[in-house]
Chain A
């Protein structure tokens, strides 16, 4: 075992920490501000965003960038012109792109941004990151999950075995130390307790007991780490159904502040077991974002966000046939149109 004097910082990164919440403060805040009662938390998207998403908040988003993402809430954040959000850019694809296109974001903890995986790079994000208009600190997908796990656990930092030796580490706030028990080098990362977390799930009851089918990605940890949690679901169910299989409750009610029922809420993202990507919508959107003339993006936002009162209006604009095709593509009943 090493002496206490040997636990010194051997190397450290220069990255800025955007989320200022500490686990001890959040614990204190929770005692006063989070109800543990079984109360009806249903509300519409507009009210949920108005009540729980504030200018300057640090936001965490559920799902995997363009899979099971809370797009209906994201469109509403853009519509309400919320500003200066810091965002956990953890597997971030279409979700963060829309927020950045809407001018809602001033800083990002980057693990994965700018890319749309096989679809290529985003013009919107490239412009904002390359010009320095949006501030950034680099991490990895694993690192962001580790930070959120620490936040959920209520400890201020977490030792990890990634990022060591790289520029990714040097542009993070990470610090390298020797383990006081074994002497091996580990990287310490600050924990993360977001102000607000938005999640799209398959089912929830009115109290906020949440079921997700398939991969959870990081939603369980984010709900546990965040101060406020807005859950949107494809289907609102009775708590009788929740009680039939409580092991399926991935997020329990007391963590949740608002419950919104919104079918197709991940569109144009993929919702496993429900509907596949709307490829055409996303390809058209990417082309708009890559256009050098900013008026083209402004017009797109006007047409698809600002001029619409709600996500239901957006669904009407898309039309039922288009949505049914996405359901058929999900169940491999029709070929995927990958243009």
Chain B
């Protein structure tokens, strides 16, 4: 049964989870991406393999970790290794999906998690930088992007700093710069909608809006020209059981879904 009351973050988590197929491997960060991966494992993708950049592989997660390196990420794992070993596995082609986010994103899916401002030496705001994001965005087969506040300030014509490559400047650009072939962002999940990238132009394309959100709402919240698919669908809301899994099983401490 579909839930009557759910938050946008809860909806985003289940929409993100639905992008993950069973029997594939995903590299995740903390927060919503990990919730999505854990949720997928508990529902349609029990054989989804989770990789953490600090070196945890295929753990049985007892509860949501607060760091991609904390004890929970290696709880009953099948292998604990090194960060470089995770990156090597990714470049070797073993990792299908990587989840990423950022402070800003442009129409090609290029992400900024480094700084706001135009002076590298003295930025207005300094963010963490790449961490493993650029590695994931360069090496995984598909990048799934989660942005939790869809607004013109974040979906911007030109990001202040390209931390992590999307399609850079268009079709063929990744290959031209030396990145692995047939890689790049495949989905963008926001609090308003679900998007993919139009195959020819590699520009972001709206494919589904969340319930009660219109195409116009999405266009107004996007600071660059967005391609609109011919049939824009409506995302399916979470069920009552979905919400129970999110709150009672995955995040009982309320790290992601604040109580």
Question: Which residues of A are at the interface with B, using a C-beta cutoff of 8 A?
Answer: 63-67, 89, 91, 93, 110-115, 117-119, 121, 125-126, 129-132, 138-143, 145-146, 149, 161-168, 171, 176, 184-187, 214-218, 220-221, 270, 272-273, 276-277, 330, 332, 335-336, 338
Contacts A163-B138, A168-B134, A221-B82 given; indicate if A114 touches B126 (C-beta within 8 A): yes
Q: Is B129 an interface residue (CB 8 A)?
A: yes
Interchain CB contact under 8 A, A217 and B54: yes
Query: Which of B74, B110, B125, B132 is A215 in contact with, Cβ under 8 Å?
Result: B74
Q: Is B148 an interface residue (CB 8 A)?
A: no
Interchain CB contact under 8 A, B71 and A113: no
Query: Which of B31, B84, B126, B161 is A142 in contact with, Cβ under 8 Å?
Result: B84
Residues on B with C-beta less than 8 A from A67 are 54, 67, 69-71
One of B172-180, B228-236, B240-248 contacting the partner? B172-180
Interchain CB contact under 8 A, A217 and B132: no
Interchain CB contact under 8 A, B128 and A138: no
Distance, CA A107 to CA B53, complexed state (A): 25
Interchain CB contact under 8 A, A129 and B130: no
One of B3-11, B116-124, B199-207, B214-222 contacting the partner? B116-124
Beyond A93-B67, A130-B125, 12 additional contacts (C-beta under 8 Å) are A138-B114, A140-B135, A141-B132, A142-B84, A145-B87, A146-B87, A161-B91, A165-B168, A215-B81, A221-B82, A277-B66, A277-B70
Question: Which residues of B are at the interface with A, using a C-beta cutoff of 8 A?
Answer: 30-31, 53-56, 62-63, 66-71, 73-74, 80-84, 87, 91, 110, 114, 120-135, 138-139, 161-165, 168, 173-174, 177-180, 252-256
Residues on B with C-beta less than 8 A from A131 are 122
Contacts A67-B67, A130-B122 given; indicate if A111 touches B129 (C-beta within 8 A): yes
Interchain CB contact under 8 A, B70 and A214: no
Interchain CB contact under 8 A, A165 and B179: yes
Report the minimum CB–CB distance from A136 to chain B (whole Å): 8
Report the minimum CB–CB distance from B247 to chain A (whole Å): 14
Report the minimum CB–CB distance from B168 to chain A (whole Å): 5
Q: Can you sample 26 A-B contacts with CB below 8 Å?
A: A64-B67, A64-B69, A66-B70, A67-B67, A91-B83, A91-B131, A110-B129, A111-B130, A113-B126, A113-B129, A129-B123, A140-B130, A140-B133, A149-B84, A161-B138, A161-B179, A161-B180, A165-B165, A166-B134, A166-B163, A214-B56, A215-B54, A216-B81, A217-B69, A218-B84, A336-B63
